Structure 1
Amino acid sequence: MAEYDTIRTVGVSGARAAQIDEGLRAHMNKVYGTMSVGMLITALAAWAFAGLSVTSDPSQAAAQLGPDMYLTSLGHAIFVSPLKWIIMFAPLAFVFGLSAMINRMSAATAQLVFYAFAAVMGLSLSSIFLVYTTTSIAQVFLITAIAFAGLSLYGYTTKKDLSGWGTFLMMGLIGLIVASVVNIFLASSAMTFAISVIGVLIFAGLTAYDTQKIKNTYIQMAMHGDQEWLGKAAIMGALSLYLDFINMFLMLLQLFGNRE
């Protein structure tokens, strides 16, 4: 996706513009590469913890999950005990912590924190393997990947300014979070469906918006040549797109996933 020509910076010579274009391609490749490694860590962690959480041997069971399916002690701790609330909110703490402390970290440290966050997110998402069939998870993941690629490509190549989308999308995201919290208590299937549909649209818009924002931020800051800052910017860009992908995947899984 980063192989397309970029917009030229006004007032920059041709040689300098070409240098910025080359740097931008490398920057975007680092963003997508870091995000992809994070996704792989998340997938492996979710699969591994799900596998360790379930057993068919009643003698090793801490709780029964279904016919011939039991939770191990680890599974009981992750999904049933009060520890589940810590696991649920730990990724959020990582996001806020990384955003708040990024300026005090080196780019290498920020990257390690991002990968640790991806592993914790995998632990948090491991329950999807207990709720949905593996086939439907794979199918929805593929659908999400195709949609994400198209939306990110649009955000990268479009000449349209998407900055105006930011306020609207953030308001929609806040409303989505509030509605999701309320629905924890209401447990309304109709509301769950509406949240999922609206969520897909919001995170689709955020994917294009965030991609263009990452691109424009690089173009604006490349003039200063601060490589350490650009390294941190690549990590934060990867985090933004990672969150867009994960949330769009979860919304689509609620819509199209086949339950066990």
Structure 2
Amino acid sequence: MAEYDTIRAAGVSGARAERIDAGLRAHMNKVYGTMSVGMLITALAAWAIAGLATTTDPTQAVGQLGNGSMLTNFGALIYTSPLRWVIMLAPLGFIFFGWTALMRKSSAAGVQLGFFAFAALIGLSLSSIFIVFTSFSIVQTFLVTAIAFAGLSLWGYTTKRDISGWGSFLIMGVIGLIIAMLVNIFLQSPAMMFAISAIGVLIFAGLTAWHTQEIKNTYVAHAAHGDQEWLDKAAYDGALSLYISFLNMFQFLLMFMGQQE
């Protein structure tokens, strides 16, 4: 098994290896389980917020989006006021600054709560997809993303190839992607958006496999120390990494597959 290959490489054998192997399976289940709960929170939050932000009653509408959707006061606040920039950039701020502080200073329970709060925040920032795209195309894109993610993560978990060298290249690609997306907010270039989406799918596909292998190797390297609090926090950190990869693949694929209302 792939677990034993990694454990033998770390110089662990016998009953100790058996314990680490069982612990690794439990650790990965916790990673995927936490990520799944986060995705559910995001989906429910996005759907609920989109419902609160729009109305079919013209007498209650205070504004419109470009596709003709009628907005409530709440919808106008989050989609057309300057607050939309805060909502758009807040997740980036949390990832670059808040999460590191949370991992360093908080307990495992606090880190878990922070992850779920982040998932709800993402739901707020993503809620407009339920207004712009049809429900069918959202579900269809989600299923395609889930299948692709499962295959990529399984490959990252089972492959004997060391892909740790992908990390720095892929992270640099993400930084370049963020810069390009910020620039395109002002340029509004369809061609540039198409290129960003295509490159984004490839980058986060690679990150899915890379993060999975990193989560596995990190567990094996530290399991022998028996620091359960640290391992719990590492599971939530891994869940966040895979959650972000899944979410970004979904958003970029939606640019290709999504059918607008």
TM-score (ref. length: structure 2): 0.95
Matched-pair contact (CA < 8 Å) for 2:204–2:248: yes
Is residue 89 of structure 1 aligned with residue 77 of structure 2? no
**Equivalent residue number for residue 13 of structure 1:** 13
Task: State the distance in 1 between where 2:36 and 2:77 align.
Answer: 29
Task: State the distance in 1 between where 2:186 and 2:200 align.
Answer: 19
Q: CA deviation at 1:56?
A: 1.1
**Equivalent residue number for residue 101 of structure 1:** 102
Listed as ranges, the matches of 1:1-260 within 5 Å are 5-7=3-5, 8-10=7-9, 11-65=11-65, 69-95=69-95, 96-260=97-261
Task: State the distance in 2 between where 1:124 and 1:69 align.
Answer: 17
Q: CA deviation at 1:13?
A: 2.3
Q: Counterpart of 1:242 in 2: which secondary structure?
A: helix
Using the TM superposition, name which of 217-226 and 10-19 deviates more: 10-19
* 1:82–1:66 CA distance, 2 compared to 1 (3 A): closer
Corresponding letter in the other structure for 1:100: A
Task: State the distance in 2 between where 1:50 and 1:6 align.
Answer: 47
Q: CA deviation at 1:68?
A: 7.2
Corresponding letter in the other structure for 2:240: L
Q: CA deviation at 1:24?
A: 0.4
Corresponding letter in the other structure for 2:85: W
Task: State the distance in 1 between where 2:29 and 2:160 align.
Answer: 20
* Aligned residue-pair number: 258
Task: State the distance in 2 between where 1:244 and 1:140 align.
Answer: 15
Corresponding letter in the other structure for 1:92: L
Q: Give RMSD over aligned pairs.
A: 1.5
Matched-pair contact (CA < 8 Å) for 1:6–1:157: no
Matched-pair contact (CA < 8 Å) for 2:47–2:127: yes
Corresponding letter in the other structure for 2:130: F
Corresponding letter in the other structure for 1:127: S
Task: State the distance in 2 between where 1:167 and 1:64 align.
Answer: 43
Using the TM superposition, name which of 6-15 and 62-71 deviates more: 62-71
- Cα shift readout 1:18-62 (whole Å, capped 9, x = no counterpart): 110100000000000000000000000000000111111111111
Matched-pair contact (CA < 8 Å) for 1:56–1:68: no
Which residues of structure 1 form unaligned runs of 5+? none
Q: CA deviation at 1:94?
A: 2.4
Using the TM superposition, name which of 5-14 and 35-44 deviates more: 5-14
Matched-pair contact (CA < 8 Å) for 2:67–2:132: no
Q: Counterpart of 1:55 in 2: which secondary structure?
A: coil
Task: State the distance in 2 between where 1:177 and 1:225 align.
Answer: 38
Matched-pair contact (CA < 8 Å) for 2:2–2:160: no
Matched-pair contact (CA < 8 Å) for 2:4–2:21: yes
After the TM superposition, which parts of structure 1 deviate over 3 Å for at least 4 consecutive aligned residues? Answer: 3-6, 65-69
Matched-pair contact (CA < 8 Å) for 1:9–1:219: no
Q: CA deviation at 1:238?
A: 0.3
Task: State the distance in 2 between where 1:232 and 1:24 align.
Answer: 14
Matched-pair contact (CA < 8 Å) for 2:167–2:210: yes
Task: State the distance in 2 between where 1:238 and 1:67 align.
Answer: 35
Matched-pair contact (CA < 8 Å) for 2:102–2:114: no
Corresponding letter in the other structure for 1:50: A
